[in-house]
Amino acid sequence: MTGIAKTPEPPYYAVIFASQRTEGDSGYGIMADKMVALAAQQKGFLGVESARDEQLGITVSYWESLEAIKAWKENSAHGVAQDKGKTEWYKNFSLRVCRVERHSFFEM
Amino acid sequence: MTGIAKTPEPPYYAVIFASQRTEGDSGYGIMADKMVALAAQQKGFLGVESARDEQLGITVSYWESLEAIKAWKENSAHGVAQDKGKTEWYKNFSLRVCRVERHSFFEM
């Protein structure tokens, strides 16, 4: 999952999810992988990028439309993960919904 | 630098920079810190979030306007870092410029 997402030409949408984890795994790793696999099956999913170090995790998912983001937000299995995130996995997190206006890729 | 950025109410802009590093540090760590400090002095800078693991690095910087992003892109010291990035530090990278439409923060 973890490379640079190959997305189509803008405009499209990005959800920037930044989070700080609680201590320990508590099933987080397995669920995180499962959520990526599930998101990838959603209509309008374009790709995902993710990185985590000791201080912060950032996952950016890319979507065709705001409707696709809404459908993913309301996905019931995702809802279970969202609840566990709030009660167990995260100390805090932020969600930002953005419209990607332009992008460029560089391969050296 | 590495926490969740406390940004004002949308709309504002985000630059999502995803990168894959070459082997070794080659002065990267020091320059990365320097660039964050320098960006923070730019007019219109709102905050930054950054995470890197073995597979990917993601840095999201937040800005008041497209003009502020342009001024940062053209900053001469930043230009030196950009050149080193292309010749030395990165295997590949992507840049996405986005308009943040909405955000939410959760502290548990």
Could you read off the pLDDT of A55-74 as tens digits, one per residue?
999 999 999 999 999 999 99
Residue of A nearest to B93 (CA): A106
Question: Which residues face B95 on adjacent strands?
Answer: A104, B17
- Taking only the tens place, the pLDDT of each residue in B52-77 is 999 999 999 999 999 999 999 999 99
A4 contact partners, CB below 8 Å, separation of at least 6: A49, A105, B18, B19, B20, B56, B92, B93, B94
Cβ contact (<8 Å) for B98 and A14?
Answer: yes
- Show the DSSP H helices in chain A as ranges: 28-40, 66-74, 76-84
Q: ipTM higher than 0.90?
A: yes
Q: Does B51 touch chain A (CB under 8 A)?
A: yes
Q: Does A77 touch chain B (CB under 8 A)?
A: no
Burial of B95 (C-beta count, 10 Å sphere; 0-12/13-18/19+): middle
Instruction: Give the distance from residue B75's alpha carbon to the nearest chain A alpha carbon, in angstroms.
Output: 19
Closest CA to A101 of B73, B69, B46, B106: B69
Looking at residue A40, the DSSP 8-state letter turns out to be: H
Q: Does B108 touch chain A (CB under 8 A)?
A: yes
Instruction: Give the distance from residue B73's alpha carbon to the nearest chain A alpha carbon, in angstroms.
Output: 14
Closest CA to A84 of A44, A34, A43, A12: A34
Q: Does B36 touch chain A (CB under 8 A)?
A: no
Q: What pLDDT sits at residue B108?
A: 86
Q: What is the b/e burial string over A73-88, where b = at least 16 CB atoms within 10 angstroms of the residue's CB?
A: eebeebeebeeebeee
Report pTM: 0.96
Positive or negative torsion for Cα B48, A31, A80, A100: positive
Q: Is residue A62 within 8 Å of A14, Cβ to Cβ?
A: yes
Cβ contact (<8 Å) for A51 and B49?
Answer: no
Instruction: Per-residue pLDDT tens, chain A, 108 aa: give them.
Output: 569 999 999 999 999 999 999 999 999 999 999 999 999 999 999 999 999 999 999 999 999 999 999 999 999 999 999 999 999 999 999 999 999 999 999 998
Closest CA to A45 of A18, A75, A20: A75
Alpha-carbon distance A77 to A100, whole Å?
27
Q: Which domains does chain A have, with CATH numbers?
A: 12-100 (3.30.70.100)
